[in-house]
Amino acid sequence: MPAGGYGEVRVRVAGAPVKLNARADHPIPVGAQIFVVEALSETSVHVETY
């Protein structure tokens, strides 16, 4: 995911996998564990590495 840009993350919500648009302050490599910092909308989140 590019820094300051949008990418996609896959998270589990109530046990079901959900794909969301995501924004991060720093680049995050594919496969990294992430932490959702803030819900920006129903379909996008702000994330950090875990």
d(C-alpha 50, C-alpha 41), whole Å: 21
**Domain edges within the chain:** 6-49
The predicted pLDDT at position 6 comes to 85
Q: Which residues pair with 8 in a beta bridge?
A: 21
The predicted pLDDT at position 3 comes to 64
- Ranges of beta strands (E only) in the chain are 6-13, 16-24, 34-39, 44-49
Tens of pLDDT, residue by residue, the chain (50 residues): 666 678 999 999 899 999 999 999 989 999 999 999 999 999 999 999 98
pTM for the model stands at 0.82
The predicted pLDDT at position 50 comes to 87
The predicted pLDDT at position 1 comes to 65
